């Protein structure tokens, strides 16, 4: 019973912390493998997949700068952390027989391809999963903004943001039992109410290009494939 999907090309954004599993730092290989299987189930439907993975499980620029590091240096360290996560995901996907490319915004030719837009598009057409690493390549940005930027450049139909919760709530559902989930919420409401979907620059970039953001739970097995078919609970930001 393969759920049908009308999507041709999508962006999957996950945080670095999604790769930690229940550990406190770094990579938890069984969790990386589980997420790779989620990606495979969607790839098997013929959907072209872009991925951006954060780096917060290893290093966050803001944290480093709060501890006295120079901000831009700390941000470059954060970007490099995302490359490590991307390589881990590439390894897990290729273990499942899926061809992938890690494409880095910071040139690192020995480990990843440089970002060349037309080349990345070609990879997608050939059904290779493209994992965009090193964020936007610029300090002061986040991987949410990188995901939005690349999704626009690759003409993705939507960004799927896999999180720990099944959508966007009016307040933190972990702290408040009466939190209410939105089915649909506008970009402007997300910005005005500071709903923690993505940072403001990512939301604005999505809004200005009419790119929907679908927030869903990645903890639900089969969740990614289900959400693409419109099943389960999620929030659409549009």
Which residues here bind ligand UDP, judged by CB under 6 A? 15-17, 54-56, 60-62, 75, 78-79, 81-82, 135-136, 138-139, 141-146
**Distance in angstroms (rounded) separating the CA atoms of residues 174 and 204:** 26
| Paired tokens of 125 | 């057409």
Contact status, residue 18 vs residue 2, Cβ threshold 8 Å: no
Q: How far is the CB of 64 from ligand UDP (least distance, A)?
A: 7
CB of 65 vs ligand UDP, minimal distance in Å? 8
Nearer to ligand UDP, 61 or 167 (CB): 61
**Rounded distance, CA 89 to CA 42, Å?**
15
Nearer to ligand UDP, 3 or 21 (CB): 21
Least gap, CB of 230 to ligand UDP (angstroms): 25
- For 6, which DSSP code? -
Type and span of the H or E element at 63: helix 61-66
Nearer to ligand UDP (CB atom), residue 73 or residue 209: 73
Which secondary structure element, helix H or strand E, spans residue 213, and what is its range?
strand 213-217
Taking the least distance from each CB to ligand UDP, the nearer of 196 and 232 is 196
Helices 200-208 and 143-153, axial angle in degrees (round to 10): 10
| Residue nearest ligand UDP, CB atom distance | 54
Q: Which is nearer to ligand UDP, 185 or 198 (CB)?
A: 198
CB of 229 to ligand UDP, least distance (A): 26
């Amino acid at each position: 019973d393969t759920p049908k999907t009308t999507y041709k090309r999508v962006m999957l954004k996950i945080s670095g912390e999604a790769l930690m599993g229940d550990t406190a730092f770094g990579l938890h290989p069984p969790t990386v493998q589980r997420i790779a299987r989620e990606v495979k189930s969607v790839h098997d439907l013929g959907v072209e997949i872009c991925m951006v993975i954060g780096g917060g499980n290893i290093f966050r620029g803001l944290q480093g700068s709060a501890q006295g590091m120079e901000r831009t240096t700390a941000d470059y360290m954060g970007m490099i952390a995302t490359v490590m996560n991307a390589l881990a995901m590439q390894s897990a996907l290729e273990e499942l027989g899926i061809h992938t490319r890690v494409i880095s915004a910071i040139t690192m030719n020995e480990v990843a391809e440089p970002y060349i837009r037309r080349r990345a598009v070609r990879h997608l057409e050939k059904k290779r999963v493209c994992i965009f690493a090193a964020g936007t390549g610029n300090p002061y940005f986040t991987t949410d903004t990188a995901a939005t930027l690349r999704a626009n450049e690759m003409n993705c139909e939507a960004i799927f943001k896999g999180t720990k919760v099944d959508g966007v709530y009016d307040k933190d559902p972990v702290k408040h039992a009466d939190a209410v989930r939105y089915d649909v919420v506008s970009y402007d409401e997300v910005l005005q109410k500071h709903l923690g979907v993505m940072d403001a620059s990512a939301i604005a970039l999505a809004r200005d290009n009419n790119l929907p953001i679908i927030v869903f739970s990645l903890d639900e097995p089969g969740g990614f494939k289900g959400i693409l078919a419109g099943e389960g609970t999620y929030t659409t930001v549009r």
